Every structure is written in structure tokens, then in C-alpha cells.
Structure 1
Amino acid sequence: MPTTPRPTRHAGKTVLAVLTASAFLLTLAGSALKNTLQVYFLPITGDFGGSRSDLAWAVTLFSVATAVFSPLVGSVADRIGGARTLAVGSLLAGVALLGCALSGPLWLFIVIYSLVAALALTMLSYVPLGVFVDELFQDGRKGLVYALITNGGAVGFILLVPLWTWLGQWLTWRTVLGGVGVVFLVVLTPLALVVTRQSGRVTASAGQGAGTAETVAAPSFGSQLRMCLRSGELRLLGLAFVGCGFTMAFIDVHFVPFMSDHHMGDAVSSSAIALLGAFEIAGSLLAGWLCDRGHVKAVLVGAYVTRAVAMVLLVLTPSPAMALLFGTVFGLSYLASVIATSMWIARVLPVSVRGTAMGLVWMVHALGVALSSQFGAVMQDRTHSYVPIILSCAVLTAVSALTVLPAGSARPAAPVRKEDDDPSRPDLADTPAP
């Protein structure tokens, strides 16, 4: 387990800014693993000659694999650091995109996407990014910095989705995916290695300068899991996070086909998604700012309520104007729930298990994505309507808000000690949910 550094005292602001910007860029690029399939969902379906529910299995299994990988990646990040985890993810992303582009039968596409791409995205997204921010920032700015870095996905909505839509007029989906895969291997993986080296120097310098940093051996994976599962607050957060995943799958898989079913073309779809991305940025920065000031619970409950309202709006009157309004309202909540959940975890769990804890909540998030992906596709095939999945999203996010509402405010975690790895300690007994 690396030492807990305080580089904000010892490293120049420029270095930290460059590292933050680089992590943001990796996150932006990593969003291509999802939004390319989102944009090319119908062309890929037509190319392989299957139905929507056939291709939806790629997303469903992708989500299941993400669920399995998330706590494992979190544990890895706790051990090797967030930056190294991002570097491995960049390499795997290039391999996955090239593999999908070159795949012949549909089953091979599904295997590559649901295993390699799922592992790559897990290593490029919220879990290792949380560890990355935890390593580099110890001065109360974690929420805002985490919001800035994770907004790479939002900028992906704004920049990449219109780009894929435009390129789809001239190039096949295979050419686009293959080209992005090459960029990952040739450009982004070397960048991730530079980030790893520089962040390592920053944390090492901080540890030496502090002089009092204590090196703590990482608990075993089993001990990490036990420590996490004994936290009642973490269980509540995970249960509520199912609603977050369920609704995100609607955006990732069903939103563009829903727009197409209601005769809203690429221009409306791209505009709605761009608005979603723009307000995702605004909402996440506000959420990070509020979380840094102690309003974690209010942000989380508000995010779930806002998302439930957005789903109700969409089902009322499917029209271009309503789609744009939906993108605005939903966007405000899109990352707010993620940031508030992550900041809550950072406050109530020891540093040696925070990556694992984030991995666990993302595991249940991914299961929500898998359920929504397949349920929405099957219901559309049978009823020719996305109303059932939209109403289900509204209900689940309302339940998520009610789940978090009785919980107490996030309390700071006690400093981790070596004996935290001992599951027989009485103070590691089951922590009741507040």
C-alpha cells in the first residue's frame, strides 16, 4: 500500500494541473468505449443481421463483467495506485476497440466488448479516478477535482457523439472503432505512462517531505471486502446506486433508438445528448463544490429526485422540445449522484479500502445497467415501446432518494491502522445504517 501523500504542500500547482488535465483526457477518450456503441447501435445491428435484443446482450454482459471487475479493479488501485491502473486501462481500450472492429461473427464482437472493453472501461473510469484524486489531493478539494476529472465522460457526450454521428455518414462503424483503437495504443497509452511516472514522483516527494507518513501494508482482498461490507452506510449507498445504473443504461443503450422510434433524427438526438453533457458538467461541478462544503447527503438525494423528474418528463410528451428539456434536467443529475456517492465513501471508510468500496458500489451500479439494458430491449421488441423502461427508471430513482434520505450525514473516517486488517477486531463489527 503506498503512503498517504500530501503533494499539494510540496508539488507545484502546475504539475498537479497537468496531471489532472491528463487524467481528464484519458477519461474523455475512455468514454468512446460506450458512446461509439450508443451511436452505432442500429448500424451494428444491421451489419450483423440480428435484432436489437441480440446486440443488447453485448451491453448486458458488458455490465455484468463491469460488476465483477469493479471491486477487483478497486482493490488493484488500492495497491498499485490510480495512475498505474489508468495506464493499463488505456492499453486494454486500444486492444478492445481494434478487436471489435475486426470481429467477424456477432458472438465474437459480444465476447470482446463484454470482457476486454468492460475491463478497460472499469480501469479508466470512476473507481481508479477516485483513488487517483485521493492520492494527489488532501486539502479539501477532492469533490471539485473529482468532478473535473470525471467530466471527461460529459465532454465525450458533447464532442465525441456528434463526431461519431458525422463520421458515420462517411465511414463504417468498423473503421471508426479501429481508428480510435489505434489512437489509444499510439497516443493515449504513452500519455498514461507519463502520468504514472509523474504522479509517482509527486507522491514520493510528498512522502519524503512529510517525514511522518506511515507505510501501511494493504489488507488482503478478502479483508478489504469484509471491512467494506460491514459498513451500513456503504450498503445503503450501494442499494441506492442501483437506480443510478438503471437510468444510465437508458441513456447508453435506449435513448437514441427511442428518439428514432419517435421520428426524431440525428440532429435532435445529438443536440439532446450535447445538452445532457453540458448540464452534466455544470451539475457535477456544483455537486463537487457542495460536497467539499459538507452537503454530501443533500446533493445525493437531490440528484436522484431530479433524475426521477427527468424520466417523467420524457414519457409525458415525446417531442423534440421535450427531448431537449430531458437532456437538460437529466444532465444536472448525471454525475452528481456519482460524485456525492464517491465523496461519502471517502469520508466514512479507511483509505486502504476506498478503491475496493467504490468498486463494490459500481458493481451494483453495473448490475442495474445490465438489467435495464436487457429489460428495455426485450420490452421494446415485445411492445414496440420504451414506456415501460422509462417508467421503471422514474420509480427506481425515486426509491433511491428515499433509501438515502434516512441516512445520517457522512462522517469522517478514522485513520487506517495496520490492525484494520484483523476481521476479529470488535470495532470492525457490523456498523448499523444511520
Structure 2
Amino acid sequence: MAEFLHILALRPLALVGKSPEADPVTTSAPSRPRIHRAWLVAFAAFVALVGAAGFRAAPSVLIDPLHEEFGWSNTTISAAVSINLILYGLISPFAAALMERLGMRRVVAGALVLVAAGSGLTVFMTASWQLLLLWGVLVGTGTGSMALAFVATVTSRWFVKHRGLVSGVLTAAGAAGQLVFLPLIAALATHQGWRSASLTVAAAALVVVPVVLLFLRDHPSDVGTTAYGAAEPEERPAPARGTARRALNVLRDAARTPVFWLLAAGFAICGASTNGLVGTHFVPAAHEHGMPPTTAASLLALVGLFDVAGTIASGWFTDRIDPRWLLGGYYFLRGCSLLMLPHLFAPTTEPPMWAFIIFYGLDWVATVPPTVALCRERFGLTGPIVFGWVFAAHQIGASIAATGAGMIHDHTGGYDIAWYVAGLLCGLAALLSISIPSVRAEREPRNMALTRRP
């Protein structure tokens, strides 16, 4: 009987995912259930990701102001955006490996400082190469360190239960960043000048740093708890050495499997059809059809609003439906919407454009939760780094689309061809996604070996 009463006294600790040894409280009085620490970590990650998305989206509303002041062509300005997008992806797997060595807090806080420096120093630039260095290299490296591989790292370390849903919520932070920053930056660029917009981005990055330092923790064992939903505590792995070598070794092993290339190719098209094309060129394209830039930026921000709902729902579906079929459906529907877009531009926001914004917004980054799930399912403990490389392909696709659409515009005087090409490519991505072999078929013995690798 005494042993039974002892168990009852300790039950509140189990509710919050803590072991008796981790909390030296007397067992005579049960402690109150409180929020699990994993949710505070997720909150800090959400805030950082909101900021990263806003910082990365800012150049899309600065293309016209920079062109008017400096006379730089769309191709030149788009090149800076392309460098930003490439580094946003290529830095991601190395950042994921660096988080294994230095911890998430240090990496993310340092990335925010780097973004603030890159954005703030743009007010002094006088030549196009400085734009390439600041917005391209510095901001791209900083935001890349807070890319979606960060989402995979947080969810893998801190969540067992509701992992897909949390992946969706954190991915939706990118959409929320667009919603918060784009209208503000567009208004500042229009009424106060693009320099005010750049300084605002720098200040916002610095404001997020204390939140990260206060709430973000690297591993559940650091605070004496377990991952949310875990049956037993897990020891923190020893810090990995050779960050770059580890990231490259993971790429080498993953690249030997067809699954990696199917995921990478599909995600490259995903990046081309979102960040690279719509995220970069929607505002100037709408402006050419008579729509005010602030209105176009607000529409793009609304894409982010609906994407919050779409991505969270996608995370919920990922916990219940085969991720391969989810990806196939998302890409197919996105392709259909992009094929319709050239016929929807007008000086005012007509109902068909509103329909596109809602439909496309729900699908914007709904592809992330099922892609993260497939990387984790097929590559196990190396899943976050593998996803970092898949995400690098996403950003390479985005970079090609950003530059390619700018070149198409300079040579044809419009963006119509770019929209049509992106729509057709999304159809290809749908086919690639449903072609990923099922785990049950055991067609990928190397994948299974990677999954078992400690």
C-alpha cells in the first residue's frame, strides 16, 4: 500500500515528462502539472522562424525601389536574391550539423546577429556588388542557419507525440513572417524609403535574440526532462566533431539512394514555384498590371495567412496519411493554380485573384511536413541533416527560378512564360513524389541501413 501511494505522489511528474530524479521535490506533496518544456522550446523556435521568413522575404518588395534609385536591372537585383536563396538552402545542412556540436541556441542567436549586420549595412551601399554581398551572402547565411532543417532538429529532439503537427506549426512560422513583415516593409519602402525598411529588418532580428537565449534549449536532458510523449529519458549525444565532414558524409550516404534524389528533385521544384518565382516576382508582376505595390505585397502576405492554416493541417494529415500521396496532391494542385495565374492579374483585386490567394496560400509550404517525415522515416537519426540537403535543393530551385524569371522578364517584357513553366514543373514533382517506393516494399536496403545507423 505504501508503494502504491508513493507512485500516486509522483504521477504529476510523469504528466510533464520528468523523472523523479530530475526534480528533487519531496514525494509527500504532489507537484502541480505544468506546461512541458518542449512547448517553450517550440515557441522560441517559432519566433526565430517568423523573423527568418520576414528577413528573407524583404527583398521582394525592394526590387522596384532599388531599380529606381540605382538603375540596376531586374536581372542584377534578382541575382542578389538568388545568392540569398542558394545560401539559405546550402547553409542549412551545415547549420544542422553545427547545432549537433555547438547547440541550437548559439547557432540561432549568432545567425540573428548576422542578419542584423547584413540588413543594416545595406543603407551604406553604393554599388551592386555590395547588394550581392550584404543581402545575398550575409542575410542568406544568417537565414539559412534558421532554415527548415532547424524545424527538423527541434522536432526530432523535443517531440515524439504530435511530431508531424509541430512540424506543421513551425513551418507555418515562415508564412506568419510574411504576414507580419511584408506589408510593413512595403509601406516603409513606399513612404519612408527602402533604407528605413532595411533598418527595421535589422532591429527586428536583434529583438528576437533575447527570446532565443531565454527559452531555446538544445536537448531535453539539459533541463532534466524527456521529449514530449517519450516513454523514457534519452541521453544527450556527445557533441559531434568535424561539422562540415559530418554533413558531407551524410550527403554521400544519402545520395546513394534513389529516395534522396526523388525528394530533392521534387523539393527543388517546390522552391522554384514558391520562394523563387511567386515570393520574388509576384509583387513586381502585379504592379506591371496596374496594381499598387502595397496592395500586391498585402496579397502576398495573405498567402502567408492561409498558409498558416494549410501547413498546420498538413502536419496533422502527415501523422495519419502516407506522406508520398500528400506530396503528390500538393504539387498537382499548385501546378494547376500557377497555370491560371497569368489570367488573374488586374489593377484591382477581383474575386478570381482572391480565390488564387486562398488556394495557393493553403498549399504554399504544406509540402514541408510530409517531406520532413519521409526524411526521418528513411534516414533515421541523420534525418535532420538529410532534410537539410533536400532543402538545399529546394533553394537551388528557388534561385534558378528567381534569376530565370528576371531574365524572362528582361527579354520578353513579362512573366507569363515563367508562370506556365512553373505550373508544368509542379506536375512533374507530383509524379516524382508518388514514385517514392514504400518502406513496406523494402526496395531500399541502403535506406534501411542508414535508418539503423546510430
Same fold per TM (> 0.5)?
A: yes
- Give the TM-score normalised by structure 2: 0.83
Residues 256 and 56 from structure 1, CA distance in 2 versus in 1: closer, same or farther, beyond 3 angstroms? same
Residues 227 and 77 from structure 1, CA distance in 2 versus in 1: closer, same or farther, beyond 3 angstroms? farther
Q: Is 1:224 matched up with 2:243?
A: no
CA contact (8 A) 2:182 2:298 kept: no
Q: Is 1:205 matched up with 2:224?
A: yes
Residues 97 and 284 from structure 1, CA distance in 2 versus in 1: closer, same or farther, beyond 3 angstroms? same
- Percent of residue pairs bearing the same amino acid type: 21
Distance 1:191 1:13 in 2: 18
CA contact (8 A) 2:307 2:361 kept: yes
Post-superposition Cα deviations, 1:304-328, rounded to whole Å, max 9, x if no partner, equal 0111011012023433323322221
161-170 vs 303-312, which deviates more?
A: 161-170
CA contact (8 A) 2:186 2:294 kept: no
Tell me the equivalent position of 1:25: 47
Post-superposition Cα deviations, 1:165-185, rounded to whole Å, max 9, x if no partner, equal 222343121122123313323
Tell me the equivalent position of 1:177: 198
**Match of residue 312, structure 2, among 285, 306, 328:** 285
User: Secondary structure of 2:224's match?
Assistant: helix
Tell me the equivalent position of 2:25: none
Tell which structure's C-alpha radius of gyration is larger: 2
Q: Is 1:337 matched up with 2:363?
A: no
**Match of residue 296, structure 1, among 306, 318, 323:** 323
Q: Is 1:380 matched up with 2:406?
A: no
For residues 35-434 of structure 1, what are the structure 2 equivalents within 5 Å?
A: 35-139=57-161, 141-185=162-206, 187-196=207-216, 198-200=217-219, 203-206=222-225, 210=232, 213=235, 215=237, 218=240, 220-221=245-246, 222-248=248-274, 249-266=276-293, 268-319=295-346, 320-321=349-350, 322-351=352-381, 353-409=382-438, 427=449
150-159 vs 276-285, which deviates more?
A: 150-159
Question: What amino acid maps onto 1:313 in structure 2?
Answer: M
Residues 229 and 218 from structure 1, CA distance in 2 versus in 1: closer, same or farther, beyond 3 angstroms? farther
Distance 1:13 1:412 in 2: 41
Distance 2:361 2:149 in 1: 21
316-325 vs 198-207, which deviates more?
A: 198-207
Residues 404 and 426 from structure 1, CA distance in 2 versus in 1: closer, same or farther, beyond 3 angstroms? closer
CA contact (8 A) 1:74 1:357 kept: no
User: Secondary structure of 2:115's match?
Assistant: helix
Q: How many residues align?
A: 410
Post-superposition Cα deviations, 1:222-277, rounded to whole Å, max 9, x if no partner, equal 43222322332222111111110111111221100110111122354134223311
**Match of residue 18, structure 2, among 7, 10, 23:** 10
CA contact (8 A) 2:114 2:142 kept: yes
When the two chains are superposed, the root-mean-square deviation of aligned CA atoms in Å is 2.9
Question: What amino acid maps onto 1:408 in structure 2?
Answer: P
TM superposition shift of 1:28: 1.1
Gaps of 5+ in 1: 1-5, 414-422, 430-434
CA contact (8 A) 2:88 2:145 kept: no
Residues 133 and 102 from structure 1, CA distance in 2 versus in 1: closer, same or farther, beyond 3 angstroms? farther
Gaps of 5+ in 2: 1-13, 20-33
- Give the TM-score normalised by structure 1: 0.86
283-292 vs 79-88, which deviates more?
A: 79-88
User: Secondary structure of 2:290's match?
Assistant: coil
TM superposition shift of 1:291: 0.5
Distance 1:99 1:369 in 2: 25
152-161 vs 51-60, which deviates more?
A: 152-161
